[in-house]
Amino acid sequence: MSSTISRVVIVGGGTAGWLTAARLAYDHRATEETGLSVTVIESPDVATIGVGEGSWPTLRMTLREIGISEHEFIRECEVSFKQASKFIAWRTGERDDYYYHPFTPPEGALTIDVNRAWQKHQADRPFAFTASAQAQLCEAGLAPKQIQTPEYAAFSNYGYHLNAGKFGQFLQRYCVEKLGVEYIQDHISHLNEDSSGYVKSLACRDRGELAGDLFIDCSGATGLLIDKHFKAPFIDRSSILFNNKAMAVQVPYHSPDQAIASATLSTAQTAGWIWDIGLQSRRGLGYVYSDAHTNQEQVWETLKTYIQDSSPETDINSLTPKNLSFQPGYRSTPWVKNCVAIGMSSGFIEPLEASAIAMVEICSKTISNELPATRDAMAIVAKRYNARFVQRWESIIDFLKLHYCLSARDDSSYWLDNRSAETIPDNLKNLLELWKYQIPSTADFQHILELFGPPSYQYVLYGMGYTPLARITASRRDNDNYALQNFQKVDETTKKGLRGLPSNRSLLNAICSQ
């Protein structure tokens, strides 16, 4: 009889490890005698990176599904509300060059040709301002709901900005105290295999052997199991996405009432881009760049200039930047035998559009939903999982590349290289050809759990000035009438939001003072 899967061992903590532990322990009743056994082991000698501070609205659903109080999460993890990404200087490089990618889809995005109606009737306004109320709410620094709105409910769709270090600690306490997860701090010296090459146990320095049926590698870029032991192939995508380094720094506020942006600010530079994320007590900044197009000294000078321009009161000499390196790409087989990688051990693409935490959520939920009952079933699940996630990684790469290849910037070799045809994936080239004549639609995307679907592509395409050509045939019957109705609905929603929503800062202060 095939061995049953009843013990899961997660190697590594951080956001990936503890979010995965929470999902599995909650879904599979780890607190009950007949429930799944979930153990997290992490080395006391290894610190987590702790700079991934942006999320998608998917995190809101995940936290609700695993039973976490939103207000407690906000208070414990320095959380602020995120409603969009604002892209500055990506198209032309000028100061007044910006567009929004809101979390609320364009009104009618999947049923009518919003873009053509926008160009015909409201071409003098940015696409996101015509198609959604959320861009204007972000410009006004407003929160996505009122203080009396129930947890996780909203006036407009939102995700979070968060302190990654505190988030990992928060999840750890929740998993151990509420969900029945066993936590071990120990150093892993080696792996023990059975006769079939499956991992039987981990040999620990202090504890001895730690046995399990399924091992999840959340050890970060080290890839302790998936790379060091199983040698799962890594697919390098640096020929498409050039950025491979980042310099991060934390900038304090100089007033407890300083405004908190409702969007991630992403400002393009000559060799990459700077993220600017507002938390409750500070901003998190970082320059993501290609070391083939600039160097660390120039990056720090650029960051200092950005900080001085946006926060003149800041003492630059008091700041301590952190340097990070990564290789853009992913594992072609993140699930090998009874080991599956999640987080950076599975792959990492630059933090543009905050896909990292969302991928952890998708991976952990997929494993939870399809948790194999036996080892024989595991081989089937693993094969299917690997195929799906290779496709997901490639779709993320396509979407991120879209931000670069549509740019008209020619002020550096970085932007010229990004626009070069040989650096654009074939699938993206094909889609761009289709979109010369039609809007992105569900027909263009094959995957049910697509992270970036047609609405996201529409915001970036038309924010970057991608103008479709005229079709030979007339547009669909009543397209303009439906579109104008949607535009009117957007205007009404915008007015209602501007009248009734508090600022991001004031809502957060109210929640934290409860």
Per-residue pLDDT for 231 more than 70?
Answer: yes
Q: What are phi and psi of 9, to 5 degrees?
A: -115, 125
- Residue 90: name the closest of 502, 351, 396, 403 by CA: 403
At 417 the pLDDT is 97
Run of H or E residues at 23: helix 14-27
Structure confidence at residue 470 (pLDDT): 66
pLDDT above 60: residue 2: no
Average confidence (pLDDT) over 5-33:
96
Give the DSSP letter of residue 261: -
User: 315-329, 379-393, 479-493: lowest mean pLDDT where?
Assistant: 479-493
Residues 350-371, mean pLDDT to the nearest whole number: 94
CB 469 within 8 Å of CB 436: yes
Please name which of 235, 229, 238, 215 lies closest in space to residue 331, comparing C-alpha atoms.
235
Query: How do 329-331 and 234-236 pair as beta strands?
Result: antiparallel
For the stretch 99-131, pLDDT in tens is: 999 999 998 877 778 888 888 888 889 999 999
Please classify residue 36 by burial: count the beta carbons closer than 10 Å to its beta carbon, then call 0-12 exposed, 13-18 middle and 19+ buried: buried
Give yes or no for residue 26 having a pLDDT over 60: yes
Query: With 60 as the cut, is the pLDDT of residue 307 above it?
Result: yes
User: Which pLDDT does position 52 carry in this prediction?
Assistant: 59
pLDDT tens-digit profile of 279-295? 999 999 999 999 999 99
Residue environment code for 391-402, b if the CB has 16+ CB neighbours within 10 A, otherwise e:
ebbbbbbbbbbb
Residue 400 confidence (pLDDT) above 90: yes
Do strands 329-331 and 347-348 pair parallel, antiparallel, or not at all (unpaired)? antiparallel
Confidence label for 468 from pLDDT (cuts 50, 70 and 90): confident
At residue 288, the pLDDT reads: 98
Amino acid 505: pLDDT: 97
DSSP-derived 3-state class of residue 438: coil
Between CA 42 and CA 224 the distance in angstroms is 11
Average pLDDT of the chain? 93
Q: For 130-158, what is each residue's pLDDT tens digit?
A: 999 999 999 999 999 999 999 999 999 99
Tell me which amino acid residue 350 is: E
Going by pLDDT thresholds of 50, 70 and 90, the confidence category of residue 55 is very high
pLDDT (average), residues 458-469? 90
Q: How far is CA 189 from the centre of its chain?
A: 32
Contact 265, 88 (CB under 8 A): yes
Residue bearing the bigger pLDDT, 3 or 265: 265
pLDDT for the residue 1: 39
SS (H, E, C) 186-208: CCEEEEEECCCCCEEEEEECCCE
- Select from 59, 78, 69, 54 the least CA-distant residue to 509: 78
Contacts of 307 by beta carbon, 8 Å cutoff, 6+ apart: 249, 251, 285, 314, 316, 319
Which letter does DSSP use for residue 290 in this model? -
Rounded alpha-carbon distances, angstroms, from residue 218 to 5, 13, 339, 405: 19, 7, 11, 32
Percentage helix, strand, coil for the chain under 3-state DSSP, each rounded to 5:
40, 20, 40
Contact call for residues 157 and 134 (beta carbons, < 8 A): yes
DSSP assignment of 39-84? EEEE-TT--------B--THHHHHHHHTT--HHHHHHHTT-EEE-E
Residue 117: its pLDDT value, please?
84
Of 44 and 348, more confident: 348
Mean pLDDT of 89-108: 93
Sequence length of the chain is 514
Q: Which of 122-131, 138-147, 163-172, 474-483 has the lowest mean pLDDT?
A: 474-483
Strands 339-341 and 98-102: unpaired
Residue 437 neighbours by CB under 8 Å, 6+ apart: 468, 469, 471
Mean pLDDT to the nearest integer, 21-37 = 96
Average of pLDDT values for 302-318?
95
Structure tokens at 26: 């909650």
pLDDT number for residue 93: 94
Task: Determine phi and psi for 402, rounding to 5 degrees.
Answer: -55, -40
Q: What is the pLDDT of residue 474?
A: 54
pLDDT > 90: percent of the chain: 84
399, pLDDT greater than 80: yes
| pLDDT score for 264 | 97
Cα separation of 52 and 463, whole Å? 25
The pLDDT of residue 447? 63
* pLDDT confidence tier of residue 402, bands split at 50, 70 and 90: very high
